[in-house]
């Protein structure tokens, strides 16, 4: 276990960047705009992580501690271990690509510097959630994500309803956060300290009954964030109304915070006590969520909404894998978070390119785009195929792990059903791509001049999907290390 000052560096860079970009303001005559500055900060944030990569292998962790409120024992504690590493990489990559994409997409929006500062703050909050080793610090950053994303959706979203939708998003997510607050308050009260390492060490001494309901509350709270079936209603509206870079970050990175929460708190910190009782309901709910998301994606008209509903379905895969409670399932969940990050960002960016180019969002008004935007259509088709789990793209490996985990779990029947769900995914995803690409072109479609610049991050993602699909070894290694942490006696 190494102590490293790079950790606060990693966490602090986006926040410093946010402050700098906010104060940079609007300088029309300078060639360096606020959003370029923001991209630079997002890129530079990779440095501390790359420098720390060697230190986080297997069960090694990197820690950092500084006192904050000594009287109550709350510390500024950060940790980077095998569990948070893949997710940190996910957040960094998605944020960088989203900001890059935003260079073209958000260019004409007002108060650009505030928007980019908030995007960096959003990124910083997500990093803080992943790196926090103290319950209160975790909650601070958890709410910070919510506040930053709400401000972004409310301030720069599209559509007249955005005020109401922001409120709905805030309230819905807050329900989960409040449940989480109660659970963590009880846990901290029982263990006497809010430091996660201390709580984990004491976890076996805590009374079983209490731990069971604490775990249940936590899981429910995180499931709200994961947009699992009954509590998913915030997701389609929020994702459709948000500006595209924000949607990319919401879907590709923020949703996985719920998965991280379930992995970290009930499973690692509490060593999985109280989780077995939740296994069957979670698996069934996950299956329902997958099917429901697919059906709703079929039924939607707005192209952004279709991709948003597909997120509901994909998060169902993640929850299913988490609930299977074996190493392949856990590894599959983390892998799927990563591959979903790549693919969902790809799909949303593609949809954004279509919207930017044609000015339309309704599926009935689009079609035959392969003639005017062949590259984007090819990329979207690749995204659709990949999300359905076909090789040689990244989705295949994560789905293989999920299947293996499902069949090895206590309820293999559910695993058999799970094998059939990608058929539904293939159905709506490929249908969506076909409807966009083929057919007769409606009138009046002219490509937007900015399109080439905005397409770069999109193509990077396509290549990334292919590369991770063909060479999954590094990601496999990360993911299996993370899963090893979850075995009893391992890690924390």
Partner 1 sequence: MSGLGVWTPFVPLALGVLAVYLVARVFTRCNGVLASLTALAYALSLLSVLQLVGRTPAEGYPSWGQVGGEAILRADPAALLLALVSLVLGLAVALYSGRYLALDRRYENYYPLLLLLSSGVLGMLMAVELFTLYLFTVLTSAAAYVLVAFRRRTETAVEAGFKYAIMGGMAAILILAGIGYIYRAGNGLTLPLPRGQGAWPTVGMGLLLAGYAVKGALVPAHAWLPDAHGRAPSSVSAMLSGIVIEANVYVMVKVALGVGWPARQLGWLLIGMALLNMTVGNVMALMQDYGKRLLGYSSIAQVGYILLAWGVGLVYGLPEAIAAGLLLLVAHAAMKGLAFLSKGVCHFYCDATRVEELDGMAHRLPIAAGTFIVALAGLAGIPPLAGFVAKWQILVAALQGAGWITWLVIGGLLLNSLLSLGYYVPLMGRILKPHDGAHEGMRVSYWMVVPTLGLSALVVLLGVSPHMLWNLVQEAAQFLLLWGQG
Partner 2 sequence: MHVLDFLVIGSVACGVAMLFMGRRPKMVADAARIVSIGLALLSLSLLWHAGDQPALTWHYLPDGEPARLILSSLGRYLVICAFLALAVGQMGLAASHHNASRFWQPGLAYLLCGLVVVALTVDQFLARYIVLDLAALGTLAFLALGRSRSGKGFRLLSRLMQFRLGDSGLMLMILLLYRASGTFHIDTMLDQIVTLPSVERVLVVGGGLLAVWVKMGLPPFQGWLADSEALSWPERLLIIGLGLPLLGGYLLYRLGPPLVAANGRAVLVVLGVLVLGWSLLQLLWNKSKLTWLLAGHSAIGLLLAGTPWMQFFLLTFFLRLVVLAFWSRQPRLAAIPRVNRGRRFPLPIPLPSAPPEPIMEPANASRASVTDPLVANPGGRSAAGVDASAERDREYSDGGLIGTLLSAARYVAAYVEQGAIQDIEGGLVKALLSASRCAANWVEQGVLGKAEHLLVDLVHRVGRWLQAGHTGRLRLYLLWASAGVVVLLIATVAVHGW
Q: Which residues bind partner 2 (CB under 8 A)?
A: 168, 230, 233, 292, 295-296, 298-301, 363-364, 367, 385, 388, 390-392, 396, 400, 403-404, 407-408, 415-416, 419-420, 422-423, 426-427, 430-431, 434-435, 438-440, 442, 472-473, 476-477, 480
Minimum gap (Å) between residue 323 Cβ and partner 2: 18
For residue 389, report the phi and psi dihedrals to the nearest 5 degrees.
Answer: 95, 20
Q: What share of the chain is helix, strand, coil (3-state, %, to 5)?
A: 75, 5, 20
Residue 3 token pair: 């102590």
Judged by CB under 8 A, the residue of 36, 65, 186, 202 near partner 1 is: 186
Q: In angstroms, give the least distance from the CB of 162 to partner 1.
A: 9
- Measured CA to CA in angstroms, residue 42 lies from 11, 242, 333, 423, 427 at distances of 11, 20, 26, 37, 36
**Backbone dihedral region for residue 362 (phi beyond 0: left; psi -120 to 50: alpha; all else: beta):** beta
Contact (Cβ atoms closer than 8 angstroms) between residue 402 and residue 418:
yes
Residues in Cβ contact with 143 at an 8 Å cutoff, skipping those fewer than 6 apart: 177
Question: Using CA of residue 362, residue 363, residue 364, residue 366, what is the dihedral sign?
Answer: positive
Binding segment for partner 1 (CB under 8 A), chosen from 7-15, 30-38, 150-158, 196-204, is 150-158
Task: Output the CA torsion 60→65→71→73 (10° steps).
Answer: -20
182 binds, among partner 2, partner 1, none (CB under 5 to 8 A by kind): partner 1
> Is residue 63 close enough to count as binding partner 1 by CB under 8 A?
no
Say if CB 132 and CB 195 are below 8 A apart.
Answer: no
Q: At its nearest, how many Å lie between partner 2 and the CB of residue 430?
A: 6
Task: Establish if 155 lies at the interface with partner 1 (CB under 8 A).
Answer: yes
As to burial, measured by CB atoms within 10 angstroms (0-12 exposed, 13-18 middle, 19+ buried), residue 446 is exposed
Which position among 16, 147, 280, 430 is part of the footprint of partner 1 (CB under 8 A)? 147
Number of C-alpha atoms within 13 angstroms, CB side, residue 4?
Answer: 24
Which of partner 1, partner 2, none does residue 426 bind to, with CB < 5 to 8 Å depending on kind? partner 2
Rounded to the nearest 10°, the torsion over CA 387, 260, 223, 73 is -170
- Work out how close the CB of 290 gets to partner 1 at its nearest, in angstroms, rounded to a whole number: 29
- DSSP assignment, residue 192? S
139 binds, among partner 2, partner 1, none (CB under 5 to 8 A by kind): partner 1
By the rule CB under 8 A, 22 interacts with partner 1: no
The correct pick among 14, 48, 128, 144 for binding partner 1 (CB under 8 A) is 144
Q: Taking CB under 8 A as the rule, does residue 68 contact partner 1? A: yes
Per the listing, tokens 């301030």 go with 155
| Choice between 35 and 481, CB closer to partner 2 | 481
Binders in 161-180 for partner 1, by CB under 8 A = 163, 166-167, 170-171, 174-175, 178-179
- Determine if the peptide bond prior to 39 is cis (ω within 30°): no
Shortest Å, Cβ 165 to partner 1: 11
CB of 189 vs partner 1, minimal distance in Å: 5
| Shortest distance in whole angstroms from residue 140 CB to partner 1 | 4
Count of residues in the chain: 492
* Shortest distance, position 269 Cβ to partner 1, whole Å: 17
Using rule CB under 8 A, residue 71 touches partner 1: yes
Indicate whether 111 belongs to the interface with partner 1 (CB under 8 A): yes
Closest by Cα among 122, 118, 156 to 21:
118
- Site residues for partner 1 per CB under 8 A: 68-72, 110-111, 136, 139-140, 143-144, 147, 150-151, 154-155, 163, 166-167, 170-171, 174-175, 178-179, 181-182, 185-186, 188-189
């Amino acid at each position: 276990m190494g102590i490293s000052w790079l950790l606060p560096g990693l966490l602090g860079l986006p926040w410093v960047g946010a402050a700098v970009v906010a104060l940079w303001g609007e300088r029309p005559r300078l060639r360096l705009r606020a959003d370029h500055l923001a991209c630079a900060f997002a890129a530079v944030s990779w440095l501390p992580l790359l420098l720390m990569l060697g230190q986080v292998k297997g069960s090694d962790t990197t820690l950092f501690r500084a006192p904050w409120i000594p009287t109550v024992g709350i510390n500024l504690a950060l940790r980077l271990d095998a569990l948070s590493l893949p997710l940190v990489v996910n957040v960094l990559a998605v944020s960088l690509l989203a900001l890059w994409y935003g260079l073209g997409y958000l260019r004409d929006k007002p108060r650009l510097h505030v928007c980019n500062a908030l995007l960096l703050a959003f990124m910083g909050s997500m990093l803080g959630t992943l790196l926090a080793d103290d319950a209160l610090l975790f909650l601070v950053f958890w709410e910070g994500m919510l506040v930053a994303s709400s401000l972004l959706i409310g301030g720069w979203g599209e559509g007249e309803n955005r005020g109401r939708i922001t409120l709905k998003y805030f309230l819905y997510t807050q329900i989960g956060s409040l449940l989480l607050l109660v659970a963590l308050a009880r846990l901290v009260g029982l263990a006497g300290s809010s430091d996660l390492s201390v709580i984990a060490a004491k976890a076996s001494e805590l009374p079983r009954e209490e731990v069971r309901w604490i775990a249940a509350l936590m899981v429910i709270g995180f499931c709200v964030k994961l947009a699992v079936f009954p509590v998913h209603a915030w997701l389609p509206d929020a994702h459709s109304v948000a500006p595209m870079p924000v949607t990319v970050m919401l879907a590709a990175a923020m949703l996985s915070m719920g998965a991280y929460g379930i992995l970290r708190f009930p499973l690692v910190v509490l060593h999985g006590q109280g989780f077995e009782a939740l296994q069957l309901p979670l698996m069934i709910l996950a299956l329902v969520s997958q099917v429901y998301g697919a059906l709703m994606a079929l039924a939607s008209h707005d192209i952004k909404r279709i991709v948003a509903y597909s997120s509901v379905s994909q998060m169902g895969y993640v929850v299913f894998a988490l609930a299977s409670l074996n190493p392949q399932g856990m590894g599959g969940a983390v892998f799927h978070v990563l591959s979903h990050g790549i693919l969902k960002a790809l799909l949303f960016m593609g949809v954004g390119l279509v919207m930017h180019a044609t000015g339309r969002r309704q599926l009935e008004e689009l079609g035959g785009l392969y003639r005017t935007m062949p590259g984007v259509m090819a990329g979207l088709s690749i995204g659709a195929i990949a999300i359905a789990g076909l090789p040689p793209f990244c989705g295949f490996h994560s789905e293989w792990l999920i299947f293996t985990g499902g069949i090895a779990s206590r309820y293999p029947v559910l695993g058999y059903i799970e094998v059939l769900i990608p058929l539904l995914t293939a159905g709506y995803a490929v249908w969506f791509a076909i409807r966009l690409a083929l057919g007769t072109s409606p009138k009046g479609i002219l490509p937007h001049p900015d399109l080439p610049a905005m397409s770069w991050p999109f193509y990077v993602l396509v290549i990334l999907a292919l590369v991770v699909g063909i060479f999954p070894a590094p990601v496999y290694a990360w993911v299996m290390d993370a899963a090893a942490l979850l075995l009893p006696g391992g890690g924390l």
